[in-house]
Amino acid sequence: MADEIRRLSEELARDPASPVYLQLGEALRRGGQLDLALKVALRGLERHPHEADAHDLLARIAVDRGELERAFDEWDMVRRIAPAHLGARKGMGYVLFKQGKYTEAQTYLSEASELDGEDETVATALAMVRVKLREAEGARGAQGARGAPGADPSTTSLEHIEHLEHLEHLSLFDEITVGGEHTALLLDATGLVMAGTYVTQDGRDVAQEIGAELSGVSDEARRAMRHLGLGDWSSLTVETDAAVVAMAPMRDDALLLVAASKAMPLGLVHRVLDRCAERATAWLKQGGA
């Protein structure tokens, strides 16, 4: 990564008008050097103000910096410059999803799906949005049933909000697992899901099945390490034909599991695992709710 950044920086220094700033900005973003990535993207935009990919890069950097509004505006700009830009629809859908605007998110992701029906990340994101919409619908239904004749409207409204808050565990890792490229689950000692989702392309949440099957592997890892004298295990990565699954032990014998597409570099999968572990640790410290 460092070599690539050096090579791209030198190339850009030789020719400041080169479009290589897009690769450099992306490499810096992936490496977590967000301030530098932002600088490179902004300088690139000064020279190429109508370059859709430059606005797309700026939007992705903004997401990583937690600036969702800015990201949305940049992707909106991309959409104006390049109406058929897939990344802009995906990004806008993601921002709206993060903001809890599931119906609007579904609109943009459906448009993205129309642009490229083969894109797995769009299908996964769309499936997640539909799960959330169904959950919200279910919560409204439950509230409607409780709030039937004679109920105090203010009380039912509060219950409704509390009910939705109980669903927050599903999105514990959403900020880290950007764009549906990977997914994360937190399992308890018995393999039951505590947080996170694992949604298939057809919209089924298979977190429980995946968790139950894979949590047994960590027992085996623990047993092996005890006998081999290599100390405590800190991560287990399994590459399969379809995906890469990385696991890490958590407090109280809980297990964190991150699954990513095979196309994702292994190093990046481990970074995502580490970030999810930090998030899960903080969440468990707060009592896991």
Q: Which residues make up the interface to another protein (CB under 8 A)?
A: 206, 209-210, 213-214, 216-217, 220-221, 223-225, 227-243, 245, 259, 266
Q: In terms of CB distance, is 168 or 278 closer to another protein?
A: 278
Structure tokens at 230: 């290599």
Residue 56 CA, chain-centre distance (Å), reads: 17
Q: In terms of CB distance, is 80 or 223 closer to another protein?
A: 223
Provide the Cα torsion 41, 45, 51, 53; round to 10°.
Answer: 10
Tell me how far, at minimum, the Cβ of 31 lies from another protein, in Å.
Answer: 17
Q: In terms of CB distance, is 125 or 214 closer to another protein?
A: 214
Tell me how far, at minimum, the Cβ of 276 lies from another protein, in Å.
Answer: 16
Q: In terms of CB distance, is 134 or 262 closer to another protein?
A: 262
Q: In terms of CB distance, is 146 or 204 closer to another protein?
A: 204
Q: 138-163: b or e for each residue (b if 16 or more CB lie within 10 Å)?
A: ebeeebeeebeeeeeeeeeeebbeeb
Tell me how far, at minimum, the Cβ of 113 lies from another protein, in Å.
Answer: 23
186: CB partners within 8 A, 6+ apart: 172, 193, 194, 195, 196, 250, 254, 255, 256, 257, 280, 283, 284
Three-state SS for 156-187 is HHHHHHHHHHCCHHHHCCCCCCHHHCEEEEEE
Query: Cα separation of 207 and 192, whole Å?
Result: 9
Tell me how far, at minimum, the Cβ of 215 lies from another protein, in Å.
Answer: 8
Q: In terms of CB distance, is 106 or 197 closer to another protein?
A: 197
Tell me how far, at minimum, the Cβ of 161 lies from another protein, in Å.
Answer: 35
SS3 99: coil
Tell me how far, at minimum, the Cβ of 75 lies from another protein, in Å.
Answer: 32
Largest distance between two CA atoms of the chain:
75
